[in-house]
Amino acid sequence: MEQIKSTSLASEAFDRVVEAITSGEFEPGQKISEAHLARQLGISRGPIREALHRLEGRLVSRVPRIGVRVIQFGEEELRQLFYLREAMEGMAARLAAENASDKWLRSLEAMLQRHSSEIEGAGKRVYRQRTSDEDFHFSIAQASKCENIERLLLNEVYYQLRIHRLRSSRQPGRADKALKEHFEIVEQLKQRNPDGAEEAMRAHIRAARESSLAML
């Protein structure tokens, strides 16, 4: 990781720690050292401590006498997380088909074209959506115009899923298949078909669930 040079240390540290965990730099269950992270980023331990505190229950857990570890899910916990995601993201896609602007749809399709180029560049080995601005599911949740769905998905579920989405996308053939499923969702959104958009999203989440469970 590159050292932080920004004056907004707390916010920058938070973003860097999230990226480090969700990019696979830390494995589920691995212990995280505040001192090590601080040295890597070239800052004091205070902003790191604050970032990890904000991420407790999302991406990390604090174990007495051991310290902070990357959150780890068992099979049933992961399955239930995907059940929740399927229900909420399916409804988000339905609402986006009804509420989203044509301009947003064009930008979403352009995003997937960029993703397609990146997947090709990675030899179709991984589907990585590095930032919230380039995250397909994040964008649809926002376009739903439903504050409760957006809050629950983006503040509670989103961080945990980023770990599993990256790991799942590394399975042979999954990155290319996930991209095709995203394009199918966009096609239903462009047709302003709420039923079709919801079903396409649910089918995509079910496929992601099976892929993630296989990784366990």
pLDDT grade for 24, boundaries at 50, 70 and 90: confident
pLDDT tens by residue, 144-198: 999 999 888 877 777 777 777 766 667 778 888 999 999 999 999 999 999 999 9
Q: What average pLDDT does range 107-129 have in this prediction?
A: 83
Which pTM was predicted? 0.80
pLDDT for residue 148: 93
Q: Hey, is 96 helix, strand or coil?
A: helix
CATH of domain 9-70: 1.10.10.10
Higher pLDDT, 73 or 186: 186
Per-domain residue ranges of the chain: 9-70, 75-215
Q: Which CATH number among 3.30.1540.20, 2.40.50.140, 1.20.120.530, 3.90.226.10 corresponds to the domain 75-215?
A: 1.20.120.530
pLDDT for residue 7: 52
Written as six digits, the tokens of 7 are 């004056």
Please name which of 117, 116, 208 lies closest in space to residue 171, comparing C-alpha atoms.
Answer: 208
154-161: which pairs have CB atoms within 8 A and are 24 or more residues apart?
A: 156/58, 157/81, 157/84, 157/85, 157/88, 159/18, 159/22, 159/55, 159/58, 159/59, 160/58, 160/59, 160/71, 160/73, 160/81, 161/81, 161/85
Please name which of 119, 112, 129 lies closest in space to residue 183, comparing C-alpha atoms.
Answer: 112
Please, what is the average pLDDT of the chain? 86
pLDDT grade for 132, boundaries at 50, 70 and 90: low
CB 96 within 8 A of CB 193: no
pLDDT for residue 215: 78
